[in-house]
Structure 1
Amino acid sequence: MASTHAARVLVASNRGPVSYGVREDGSLHAKRGGGGLVSGLSAIGPDADALWVCAALGDGDREAVRRGVAEPGVRMLDIPADVHADAYNGIANSVLWFVHHMLYQTPLEPVFDVEFRRQWASYQAYNRAFAEALAEEAAEGAAVMIQDYHLALAPRMLRQLRPDLRIGHFSHTPWAPPDYFRLLPDDIAAELLGGILGADRAAFLTRRWADAFTDCCHAVLGPGIPSGTRIGVHGLGADADFLRKRSHEPDVAERMAALRAEIGEGRKTIVRVDRTELSKNIVRGLLAYRQLLDDHPEWRERVVHVAFAYPSRQDLAVYRDYTAEVARLADEINSRYGTPGWTPVLLNLKDDFARSLAAYRLADVALVNPIRDGMNLVAKEVPVVSDEGCALVLSREAGAYEELGEDAITVNPYDVVGTADALQQALTMPFGERAERTKRLAAAATALPPAQWFLDQLGALDG
């Protein structure tokens, strides 16, 4: 397939750097996003002939594509809404996410029936749409960086269309070990692995996830990496400059004052900031806090758990149920232990980045206890932003554990009693030790900031 354009560097991801809304008068307004990919792509400079290929995710995006409205350097694909829904919710978020985060209740699920196969055909079509767009847009020998589990088939499809391209695939999630990965039907497991092996280089956030991918290849496809695909590891770090600057802007100061008033004078804070994602383990975190109040009644009226649980995937019933359980448990703790002057859990379900940064700055303890997480940037961001130093209670199942484990208090995410003990240890950590640990955590957390993380991968494609 001949190239119609001449992009030298291309990024492909489900969500792009911009989204569109429709105003009442019918005009479109664009909202730009942030994150590691945005930082990374901007780091290569405006003259690099870069293009970001993404999916139109809502009515505003689709309207923008229909009207031919586009941001420079972005191509949005208007994949049919039903195909996108099957691929994104039906397969990517309800199957692949569950496999890699090991979330299934296996006596009842998964069930790979005819409906699954129908949705899988949509996942194939969705990946094919990306591969065809990339093939059209890429210059001869261009570098293409394909992102995440949504686009696991695209590298192989693109390789077949454009063998001249340098293709990388990056997985932002964990990778399941072979025994769990093989819950998938054999042909699907082989197709997913073969899709990623269409890339010149497959990269992961930690060595653990990279090794799991290699183990799956050996178990499903046989010994060796048959395509000669190189395996890489790039542990995405926090953007220290951005975080420190943003966390001292006026809106953050306002939210700090409001939070301080809610918390009350002289109290310690245990902070968590998460999406209400099943893998984040918010319910067990609340249970551990309740256990702390039972085991150490001296903390009653002296500590507040500031828990931000921002909505995620609320179009899936299991996520709505989980969010409801988080709210129910927080209410139960407040009813059981609260007093007229003390609310033990401050739960907020409305996304507010400035308020998250305010909580980071105020945190005495950060609780990051996922069941399983590709990296977890909150664990890296809090030590960077914290005003007074902060003890980090960290699940050994977070990718960030690989870099931060030495200076964190490590927990088994399923062990509620052990997590309560870790919270007690964190709350009673001497101030000097806490400050020293925070310094080391911040240094480790910022070792590979987003722009460098992106450029390292780009450079490795030339290797």
Structure 2
Amino acid sequence: MASQVLVAANRGPLSYVLDDDGALTARRGGGGLVSGLSAALARQPEALWICAALSDADREAVRRGVSEPGVRMLDIDPTTYDDAYNGIANSVLWFTHHHLYDVPREPVFDARFRRQWEAYAAYNHAFAVALAEEAGEGAAVLVQDYHLALVPGELRALRPDLKIGHFTHTPWASPDFLGMLPDDIRSQLVWGMLGADRLGFHTRAWAAEFVRGADLDDARGCADPFWAADSSPGVHHRPMGPDGRLGERRTTDVGAYPLGVDGDDLRALAHRPVVDDKLAALRAEVGDRAAIVRVDRTELSKNVLRGLLAYRELLTSHPEWRERVVHLASAYPSRQDLEVYRAYTQSVRDLAAEINAEFGTPQWQPVLVSVEDDFARSLAAYRMADVALVNPVRDGMNLVAKEIPVVSEAGCALVLSTGAGAYEELREDALTVNPY
């Protein structure tokens, strides 16, 4: 049966586990995207979620024809997937949108990059074809994130009847950083996005970055950004047809849609017995000292190292705070299959150890760092927070900036980077800092 509501995302709402006896068991996936969209799609009984098969068990499920209602997994060649996901999405587009490149040395666009880009295009094409096959006449399709930036354009060509939206959960690169990409790649990327009827970002700033970078006049057509005082901005565009002539003008609207937190649900999670146990252990270590709390992945854009350096500067410049404060830093390992992330994670461990060696006493450990995925410990730290430190270089939203103040038992000061997406909403209620 054709679906009237479809979601496309790299990660699906479930994954499979291959049991010892060869049986496949489906397990619900994790993460904010899965939780948020699953709740919304529950009200659409005929909705379909199209995702990539990420594990060997997922791929085996596809090959056996095993599936769950409302989910279609795509069995993409593992090498193609790795080149698309790690080679382009996480090593090029992520770095571009978050302004992470060490510009004197990178990026480098060589033959390897071109091969990986072909894989990224093939990966996006597989999603576009699957959506075209599954969508009913005039169906609504919501494409998720930078992994699938080319899908709207491809899908528009295959199924012009569809209502297509694309939501980007990261920032969008400034025109200068977007301009680092080869001209043809930048053109493919922007025209891919312009296949959508509406593009969504978390903040007006990221929406504006896209619009500013979408002024195009090239072999694919012409595109003209527009700004409206009483409505969202957008882009008028005329794609080039197969006959070499400009087609009819279309409009892609671009809007900002911030993400909030469910305070009641979060507080309930933070008061479960497992969190109470973690809280008791942390209180035993911290005592009556003030707690500066951060919770992040060891992701380069989260700026964990500069946060630790700032804390060391506090202890150096204001010795009166020694033995009166503890920095609780939860840093979940992120993307450890990439060398640059493994090195960054180790640097976090090393710097925390240096601070403890320099300032620590038998009665006081200045930094309590946890480089592991421990959600209960993070919630316990939320409850203890006197100061929440959120200092990303550049971030799509950063829900931690909204979560810690909701859960903190004594109330906390929020130290917030101007690079966080949440800055747009919270700057009047935070101590704002330059992330550098």
Q: What is the TM-score normalised by the length of structure 1?
A: 0.86
Does structure 2 conserve the Cα–Cα contact (< 8 Å) formed by 1:9 and 1:48? no
Question: Aligned match of 1:149 in 146, 151, 154?
Answer: 146
Structure 1 match to 2:124: 127
> How many angstroms apart in 1 are the aligned matches of 2:318 and 2:263?
36
Question: Is 2:267 the counterpart of 1:244?
Answer: yes
1:19-56 alpha-carbon deviations (Å, 9 max, x no partner): 22223343333332242453344235445411111111
Indicate the structure whose relative CO is greater, using CA pairs within 8 Å and at least 6 residues apart. 1
Equivalent position amino acid for 1:113 in 2: D
**Could you tell me which residue of structure 1 aligns to residue 245 of structure 2?**
none
> What is the Cα deviation at residue 254 of structure 1?
1.2
Q: Which residue of 2 aligns with 1:38?
A: 35
1:430 maps to none
The AA in structure 2 aligned to 1:247 is A
Q: Distance in 1 between matches of 2:173 and 2:129?
A: 29
Shift of 1:65: 1.9
Per-residue CA deviation, residues 71-106 of structure 1 (Å, 9 max, x unaligned), is 321111111100000000000000000010011111
Task: Give the counterpart letter for 2:361 in structure 1.
Answer: T
Q: What SS does structure 1 have at the residue aligned with 2:139?
A: strand
Alignment-mate amino acid for residue 122 of structure 1: A
Contact 1:274-1:310 within 8 A present in 2 as well: yes
Alignment equivalent of 1:82, drawn from 71, 79, 99: 79
CA contact (8 A) 1:17 1:34 kept: no
Answering whether residue 210 of structure 2 is matched by residue 213 of structure 1, we say: yes
More moved, 79-88 vs 68-77: 68-77
**Alignment gaps of 5+ in structure 2:** 226-234, 238-249
Equivalence for 1:383? 405
Measured in 2, the distance between the counterparts of 1:45 and 1:324 equals: 41
Query: What CA deviation, in whole Å up to 9, does each residue of 1:190-235 have, x standing for no partner?
Result: 1100001000101111000111100000167553321311111100
Q: CA deviation at 1:15?
A: 1.0
The answer to whether the 8 A contact 1:360-1:385 is kept is yes
Of stretches 225-234 and 278-287 in structure 1, the one that deviates more from structure 2 is 225-234
| Equivalent position of 1:261 in the other structure | 284
1:168 aligns with 2:190: no
**Following superposition of structure 1 onto structure 2, how do residues 307-322 of structure 1 map, counting pairs within 5 Å?**
307-322=329-344
Q: Choose which of 56, 59, 68 in structure 1 pairs with 2:56.
A: 59
Per-residue CA deviation, residues 112-136 of structure 1 (Å, 9 max, x unaligned), is 1111111100000000010111111
Question: What's 2:224 paired with?
Answer: 223
Larger strand percent? 2
Residue in structure 2 matched with residue 457 of structure 1 by the alignment: none
SS in 2 for 1:217: coil
Q: Does 1:353 align with 2:349?
A: no
- Selected match of 2:19 from 23, 36, 43: 23
What is the one-letter code of the residue matched to 2:328? V
Q: How far apart are residue 180 of structure 1 and its match? A: 1.3
Higher normalized helix content (fraction of residues): 1
CA separation of 1:27 and 1:301: change in aligned 2, threshold 3 A: farther
Residues 34, 280 of structure 1: alpha-carbon distance in 2 compared, 3 angstrom cutoff: closer
SS at match of 2:301: helix
Relative to 1, partners in 2 of residues 1:49 and 1:350: Cα closer, same or farther, differing over 3 Å? same
Matches of 1:55 and 1:336, distance apart in 2: 47
Q: 2:96 aligns with which of 93, 96, 99?
A: 99
Which letter does structure 2 place at the counterpart of 1:90?
G
| Aligned-pair identity (%) | 65
Q: Distance in 2 between matches of 1:335 and 1:19?
A: 43
CA distance in 2, matches of 1:388, 1:355: 18
1:144 and 1:222 mapped to 2: Cα distance? 23
Distance 2:147 2:73 in 1: 16
Q: CA RMSD in A?
A: 1.4
1:412 partnered with 2:412: no
Distance 2:194 2:343 in 1: 37
User: Which one-letter code corresponds to 1:57 in the other structure?
Assistant: L
8 Å Cα contact 1:146-1:167 kept in structure 2: yes
Distance verdict in 2 for CA 1:50–1:102, change over 3 Å = same
CA distance in 2, matches of 1:11, 1:37: 11
Distance in 1 (CA, whole Å) between partners of 2:186 and 2:391 is 29
Does 81-90 or 332-341 show the bigger shift? 332-341
CA gap of 1:280–1:34, structure 2 versus 1, over 3 A, is closer
Query: What is the match of residue 230 of structure 2?
Result: none
Q: Aligned equivalents of 2:109 and 2:171: distance in 1?
A: 22
Q: Which residue of structure 2 aligns with residue 366 of structure 1?
A: 388
Q: Could you tell me how far apart the structure 2 residues matched to 1:382 and 1:408 are?
A: 12
Q: Deviations over 1:371-395 (max 9, x none)?
A: 0001101111111111111110000
Answering whether residue 3 of structure 2 is matched by residue 10 of structure 1, we say: no
Distance 1:59 1:44 in 2: 27
* Aligned partners of 2:5 and 2:44 also within 8 Å: no
Write the letter of the residue equivalent to 1:27. Answer: A
Distance 1:201 1:222, change over 3 A: closer
TM-score (norm 2): 0.91
- The structure-2 alpha-carbon separation of the partners of 1:29 and 1:208, relative to structure 1 and needing over 3 Å to count, comes to same
What letter is aligned with 1:256? L
Partner of 2:243: none
**Deviation per residue, 1:331-387 (Å, 9 max, x gap):** 100111111121111111110112111111111111000000011011111111111
Instruction: Find the counterpart in structure 2 of residue 394 from structure 1.
Output: 416
2:181 to 148, 168, 184: 184
The number of residue pairs the alignment matches comes to 409
Aligned match for 1:295, one of 307, 317, 340:
317
